[in-house]
Amino acid sequence: MALVEQQRNKISLLVCNSCYWMSSLLDSSKEVPNCPSCGTTLESLPVENNERCTIEAADTKTGLIVEFQRA
């Protein structure tokens, strides 16, 4: 698989830092959209193929706790 093709197939976790809306983006060559809930720009966190992502909803002061671990 060509390097360009490998980079295009990366998975990202999209997170809204305002309302905590989340989604996965399966093709990182796509433009990261704004949050469909509140319109804020989304943060994109890359996820490797061999990583597991755990998300814990904390209180409104600390927000979300996102942990990545190698599978």
Sort residue 39 into left (φ over 0), alpha (ψ -120 to 50) or beta.
left
Q: Would you give per-residue pLDDT tens digits along the chain (71 residues)? A: 444 444 446 788 898 989 888 888 887 677 878 999 999 999 988 888 788 878 787 776 777 787 878 87
Q: How many domains does the chain have?
A: 1
* Domain containing residue 64: 3-70
**pTM assigned to the model:** 0.66
Contacts 24+ apart (CB under 8 A), 35-41: 40/16
